[in-house]
Chain A
Amino acid sequence: MTRSKFFTSLVGALVLPATALAHELVISAKTDCDVLMVAVTYPSGRAVKQGDVRVSDGDNLLQATGTLSSDGTAQFELDTFDHSGGVLVVVQSGHHDDYWILTPEDIAQSSKS
């Protein structure tokens, strides 16, 4: 899957009700069996081009760090850290920061699909 297709599918796959968006980023993350994929936009839908990404495990211990690419995405190899208890993805870009939680069930579900 190309990055642009991934980005589009990830944002489109959100299964949440529409809510008021305040001063925040819109983060979404998913896994396949090999990779944790993160996509970040502003509430307007524009990709966030710069930002730091931190990935923590179920015990809130930092497992990986990275930066956003110019298309607002980042990827992490899953076999480089423990994700059995789920992951917490935190993105900071300028004054904005936000998070996304993937539970073990989310990870298992996306592994099956």
Chain B
Amino acid sequence: MARTLCAWTVAVISALVPTAVAAQVKPRIVAVNYALQYFTERLVGDHAEVVFPVPAGVDPAFWRPAISDISMIQGADLIVLNGAGFATWVDRVSLPRSRLVNTSAAIEDQFIVTERINHTHGDGGEHSHESLASSTWLDPMLAMAQADAIAAALIRRGLIDAEELASNLQGLRSDLAALNEEIELALSGAESLPVITTHPRYAYVARRYGLKAYALDWDAGAMPSPDQLSRLRTLMETNGAKILIWEAVPPRVALAATVDLGLTNVIFEPLAQTPVQQPFIESIERAAQGLAEALRGQTQI
């Protein structure tokens, strides 16, 4: 009985595959976050459909896909991963190795370790956990390396003509280089100034531009609890920070509470999820300008 069912399953799926292929007009590329979707779209143009499968409002780092989502992803022509421990689901499914690209493989020596804990519980004996900062794309220079990796994968998979890709890559690299220069200019003179971030997503951008970032771990756009505000106050007192970076616009009362503490609020979308208002480059530009204005208020730069 089981063998019969098994053969039946194989036959049904085999019969469906040609239909799915025939119906798919363009190659499909899946990206694990918005930033990688943006880079891939810039590179591949209209030669492929670039899918970012995580619903709005869900953190792509911790998205738990449905079985049907994984079926769709397994069928993609290219799967664009971030690496650095981003997107926990990729370790919990089978993905076709030949169609994967880990966009941060070439920059692993630049990863930032955020946490290392040794502990014992259960029957696991003493063991350690290590976390990496995963928002590599917020550093335009690391983003450039990730774009290079995507470009190489597009060529390897034959998804775009090399000449056209070279032109698209040059355009994207140029925009990222300009973004880097713009941020450097905006933040010049503000190096080593302490800032507090509501989430530890800004490690790479802080390192690139010399900011001293102290991270909390708040939910994006949520009202902080009294305990969280108390922790914020302690952080302010210990490091003298006067700027608070939010991932998303929080409730008005939250902004008022932090202003009362003497903080200047800055919104800096981490761009793992699709931004609310502007695409990648413009979104970071706007955040950097907001940060520069806040820093200028403190340092008169």
Contact = CB atoms under 8 A, between A and B. Distances in A.
B253 to A, nearest CB: 33
Interface residues of A, number: 48
A77 B102 CA distance: 36
Contacts, number: 125
A44 interface: yes
B130 interface: yes
A98 to B, nearest CB: 7
Tell me the dominant secondary structure on chain B's binding face: mixed
B163 interface: no
A22 B2 contact: no
Interface string A67-101: 00000000001110000111110000111101111
Given A16-B95, A33-B3, A104 B124 contact: no
A3 interface: no
A9 B127 CA distance: 24
Highest count of chain B CB atoms <10 Å: which of A19, A23, A88, A96: A19
Contacts of A24: 88
Given A16-B90, A79-B5, A103-B71, A94 B122 contact: yes
Contacts of B5: 78-79
A8 B122 CA distance: 23
Given A19-B85, A20-B131, A111-B10, A101 B124 contact: no
Contacts of B13: 104-105, 108
Contacts of B66: 58, 60
Given A103-B67, A104-B9, 14 more contacts: A16-B90, A17-B83, A19-B91, A21-B85, A24-B88, A33-B2, A43-B127, A86-B71, A95-B121, A100-B93, A103-B93, A103-B94, A107-B9, A111-B7
24 contacts: A15-B94, A15-B97, A16-B94, A20-B84, A20-B130, A20-B131, A26-B91, A33-B3, A33-B6, A34-B3, A48-B124, A50-B123, A79-B1, A94-B123, A96-B122, A99-B64, A103-B67, A103-B74, A104-B9, A104-B13, A105-B75, A107-B9, A108-B10, A108-B14
